[in-house]
Amino acid sequence: MSEPTVQTLPAAGNRSHVAALFGQLGPLVGLLFVWLLFALLMGHDFVKWDNQRLMLLQTAVVGTAAIGATLIIISGGIDLSVGSTIALGTVVVALLLNAGLSPLLAALGGIGAGMMCGAAVGAIVIGYIGRVAAMIVAALTVLWLWEAIGPVLAVLAAAAAFGAVLAFSELVVKQVPIAPFIVTLGMWGALRGTAKGLGNNQPVYPEGVTWLNELMTNSAGGLGSVLAPGVWILIVLAVVMAGVLRYTRFGRHIFAIGSNEQTARLCGIQVERTKLFIYIIGIGCAGMAALLQFAYLSMGDPTTAEGYELRVIAAVVIGGASLAGGEGSIRGTMVGALIMTVVDNGCTKLGLENWVQEIVTGAIIVVAVALDRLRHRRAATAIRREAREE
C-alpha cells in the first residue's frame, strides 16, 4: 500500500475542503459575525480601540476561569463551583493583605486557595472523601483549640481527630468515587458559605492600595498601557495551557481520560493521579480569576461572581467542547468567552435592557452547540465519502 497522507480531512473536492476549513474555524466565524453585527449597528462607538480593550478586560475573569474549566470538561468532568471559588479567593486575598502579608504573598494565597479547593474536589471525585474529611476536621480542631489549650495540645488533638476520622472512613467507606457534578454542586454551596463566614457576611476592604488593585487598569507606560496586566495574564495563561493540552503527556492524558477512561487505565495512564492534577490546576485557574476579580472590585466580596460557573461552562461549550469529555480547546473557549462579552457589551451600548442580553446569550449557547454538532456530522460524512471513493 502507498504511504498514507497526514491530513485531518483529506481534500476530495473543493466542497469538503471548504467544509473542513469552516469546521476548524467554527466558533471564530460566530465571533466575527456578532462583532460585525454590532459594528454595523453602532459604528465607531463599538469599533473604537478603547471599547475593544474594555471588552478584553471584561473577558479576563470569566476567560481565566474558563481555561481551567476547559481542562476539567475535556477530561469528562465539570465544575459548578467556579463562582464560589472566585468569591472565596477574593476574600482570602483581602484578608491576607489585612493580615499584613505582602501583595505577592496575598496573591499566591488567593491562587493557593483555589488550588486547595481543586485538591479537595479532585480527591473527593477520585474517591478519597474520607481523607478530605479527616484533613478538614483536623484543621478545624486546630483553629478551635489554638486559643483555649495552646498550640502544642491543639496540634496533638488535631492529629488524634485526623487519625480517628481517617481510620473510621477507611474502615467504613474505603474508596467511593463521586461524580464531579455532585461534588462541585456541594462545593458551590460550601465554598460560598466559607467565603461568607471568613468575611463575616461583609465585604472585606483591604486597608491600603497595592499593585494588586491595578491589575485590571491600564498603566501609564509599557505593555500595561496597551492592555491591562490582567488581560496579559489571561493571554499568557491561555497560550501556556493550549500548549500543555496539545504538546505534553499530561495534556494528551486529559484527552484520553475524557474520551475513554477505561482505555486510559488499560494503557497504563494513572487516571486517579491525573484527575487530581486536573482539578488542582483547573480550579487553580479559578483562584487566578479570583485575583483578577479582587483587582476589579478592590475588595474581597463573598457575594461576588454569582452565576459565573454557568458563564464559564457556556464559554467552554460554545467553544466546541463536549460535556461528555474528550473534546474541546483553549482557543475555542477563548472565542466562546469573547462571544459572550461582545454580546453583553454590544447590547449595553445599544441600550438594550439586561433581560434582552440574557435571552440572547441563552440562545447563543444552544445555537452554538447545535452548529457544532452539525459541523461534526459534516466532517464525518466528508471522511466517509472520501473512504468510499478510495
Q: Least CB distance from residue 137 to other proteins, whole Å?
A: 29
Q: Least CB distance from residue 384 to other proteins, whole Å?
A: 5
Considering only 148, 266, 353, 355, the residue that binds other proteins (CB under 8 A) is: 266
Residue 190 is which amino acid? A
Residue 63 in contact with other proteins, rule: CB under 8 A: no
CB burial of 107-138 (b: ≥16 within 10 Å; e: otherwise) equals bbbbbbbbbbbbbbbbbbbbebbbbbbbbebb
Residue 384 in contact with other proteins, rule: CB under 8 A: yes
Residue 380 in contact with other proteins, rule: CB under 8 A: yes
Q: Least CB distance from residue 225 to other proteins, whole Å?
A: 34
Residue 14 in contact with other proteins, rule: CB under 8 A: no
DSSP letter for 12, please: S
Considering only 252, 323, 349, 369, the residue that binds other proteins (CB under 8 A) is: 252
Interaction residues for other proteins, span 319-358 (CB under 8 A): 326-327
Q: Least CB distance from residue 327 to other proteins, whole Å?
A: 7
Give the 3-state DSSP-derived string for 199-231, with helices as H, strands as E and coil as C: CCCCCECCCCCCHHHHCCCCCCCCHHHHCCHHH
Q: Least CB distance from residue 92 to other proteins, whole Å?
A: 34
Which range touches other proteins (CB under 8 A), out of 52-60, 113-121, 346-354, 379-387? 379-387
The DSSP element (H or E) to which 143 belongs, if any, is helix 129-149
Residue 172 in contact with other proteins, rule: CB under 8 A: no
Which range touches other proteins (CB under 8 A), out of 33-41, 221-229, 259-267, 332-340? 259-267
Compare residues 269 and 288 and give the one whose CB is closer to other proteins. 269
Interaction residues for other proteins, span 71-100 (CB under 8 A): none
Considering only 201, 248, 348, 354, the residue that binds other proteins (CB under 8 A) is: 248
Residue 9 has which C-alpha cell?
480531512
What is the rounded CA–CA span in Å between residue 340 and residue 346?
A: 10
Residue 1 in contact with other proteins, rule: CB under 8 A: yes
What is the rounded CA–CA span in Å between residue 100 and residue 143?
A: 20
* CB count in 10 Å sphere of residue 252: 14
Would you call 245 exposed, middle or buried from its count of C-beta atoms within 10 A (0-12, 13-18, 19+)? buried
Would you call 386 exposed, middle or buried from its count of C-beta atoms within 10 A (0-12, 13-18, 19+)? middle
Considering only 17, 53, 196, 265, the residue that binds other proteins (CB under 8 A) is: 265
Site of grid cell 464525518: 380
* CB count in 10 Å sphere of residue 192: 20
Residue 10 in contact with other proteins, rule: CB under 8 A: yes
**Site residues (vs other proteins, CB under 8 A):** 1, 3-8, 10, 246-249, 251-253, 255-256, 259-260, 262-270, 326-327, 380, 383-384, 386-388, 390
